[in-house]
Amino acid sequence: MSHTGLPIEITFPVAWGQMDAFQHLNNVVYFRYFEDARIAYFEKVGMLERMEAEGEGPILASTQCRYRIPITYPDQVSVGSCVRELTDGRFTMYYRVYSHEHDAIAAEGTGTIVYFSYREKRKAQMPQTLVSAIQDVEDGKASMEWEGKKK
C-alpha cells in the first residue's frame, strides 16, 4: 500500500538523533529523505548503473521543501518520489514525506535534475532507454520491487 501515492516509496523509522533543539525532525533530514527516495528511483530505472558504465548520470541542480507538519520521534516515515517535466537533458522530481504517526503528508518537495556527462563536465542528452524506463515507472508498467519489498 502506497502512503505517498507516488510510484517509488521507501519506509524507515525516524531516529532520535535526527531531532533538533526544537524537539522535531531537523529540516536538513528532509533533504536526506528526498535523496534516499531519489536514489531509489535512479536504481529502479538503471540510472546509477549507466553512470558507472558510461560516465553520464544525474546531478542535482536545485531542490526545495515545503514543511507541512512537524515530525517527532518516535515515528515512521514513508518517502515517495516521481518524475515530472521530463525533457532531453533535465527533469523535475517530486517528493512526499508521509508521517505514519500523524497519518498525513508531513512535507513535499521538488528537485531539478540535470543529466550530466561527468567525463566531459557538461550537460548531456538523456538516452532514450532511460527516458523509456522513467516513463514505464510513471505509467505503472515497471515492477515496483525495490530491496525485495513489493510496493
Residue 40: inside a domain: yes
* Full-model pTM: 0.90
**What one-letter code names the amino acid at 149?**
K
Residue 149: inside a domain: no
CATH code, 23: 3.10.129.10
Residue 109: inside a domain: yes
Structural domain for 48, as ranges: 8-141
CB 16 within 8 A of CB 29: no
Residue 2: inside a domain: no
Residue pointed to by grid coordinates 521538488? 110
CB 95 within 8 A of CB 81: yes
Residue 20: inside a domain: yes
Q: Which tens digits make up the pLDDT trace of 36-88?
A: 999 999 999 999 999 999 999 999 999 999 999 999 999 999 999 999 999 88
- Element spanning 52, H or E: helix 47-54
Residue 78: inside a domain: yes
Alpha-carbon gap, residue 77 to 16, rounded angstroms: 13
Q: Compute the Cα dihedral for 41, 45, 47, 52 and give only its sign.
A: positive
What is the distance, to the nearest Å, from the Cα of residue 100 to the centroid of all Cα atoms in its chain? 18
Could you tell me which of 70, 80, 74, 76 has the C-alpha nearest to residue 27? 70
Q: Which tens digits make up the pLDDT trace of 11-43?
A: 999 999 999 999 999 999 999 999 999 999 999
The model's confidence at residue 143, banded by pLDDT at 50, 70 and 90, is: low
Residue 148: inside a domain: no
**Number of domains observed in the structure of the chain:** 1
Residue 147: inside a domain: no
Any bridge partners for residue 23, and if so which? none
